[in-house]
Structure 1
């Protein structure tokens, strides 16, 4: 049974680039998709992981928008062209590819932050995540106020 991905975990990243995705995230994937993950770059400097159905949803969003040829080429090169379809090992680990480790600034780290967001996960350098979160604090406060008055 699939449930929504949510929450935040600190997870070990070994020197070989292997990361154990928390079981609660893997179990939130649809039952027939719990062994596989699609990894690509995020819009922010993080790695985004999708199960097959959520990857299809993501593609529908950008293929369903009226993007220029240049925008479509960019999306396809950066997200589709850099994706990696992977399988979890027996310990629930996935090996992150070097190009995505570099993009997300994970080189040399022994711990990363994994966040579940509805139908995807994001894998972050904890320091980069905290910096971006601090930069967005005013926006978050504005949203909080806006949602309270709705």
Structure 2
């Protein structure tokens, strides 16, 4: 399970260090793609295969399903970590997530997310202000 928040810098070549505890969960190959809220989603190969099956079940006749699947898959990249535990973030994904120098890698259960540090700070501030309301509307502990 992915959890925690880690800050790392994107290098000049577009590589980002993936936290060691996430590397253990990712194995030799994983997938990154466009995520929600302007971040990048990262999936271990096994979880990606499950998600792929779910997306394949969406009706081809639905315009919104075609658009979502097309947009989601178009930016997907199969990745491997280098010997220093870094992943190369493709330019299209760096632009989509507005990644600059400082990035935040966030564990979210079955996936991890990569955020530009400023964007993450904004999201975190807005969400913290509404956290109690979100919990009340979504979860019964």
- 2:104 touches 2:116 (CA, 8 Å); kept in 1? yes
Consecutive unaligned residues of structure 1, counting only runs of 5 or more, are: none
CA shift at 1:92, angstroms?
1.0
TM-score normalised by structure 1 residue count: 0.82
CA shift at 1:13, angstroms?
0.8
- Which residues of 2 match residues 5-24 of structure 1 at below 5 A? 5-24=2-21
Structure 1 residue ranges (4+ consecutive) displaced by more than 6 angstroms after TM superposition? none
CA shift at 1:42, angstroms?
0.3
CA shift at 1:86, angstroms?
1.3
Which segment drifts farther, 20-29 or 95-104? Answer: 20-29
CA shift at 1:130, angstroms?
1.7
Instruction: Say whether 1:96 aligns with 2:85.
Output: no
In the alignment of these two chains, the number of paired residues is 141
Structure 2 counterpart SS, 1:89: coil
Q: CA RMSD for the aligned pairs? A: 2.1
- Hey, what's the Cα distance between the residues in 2 that align with 1:71 and 1:36? 30
Query: Could you report, residue by residue, the CA deviation over 1:90-118 in whole angstroms, capped at 9, with x for unpaired residues?
Result: 11111000000000001xx2220000111
CA shift at 1:143, angstroms?
3.1
Consecutive unaligned residues of structure 2, counting only runs of 5 or more, are: none
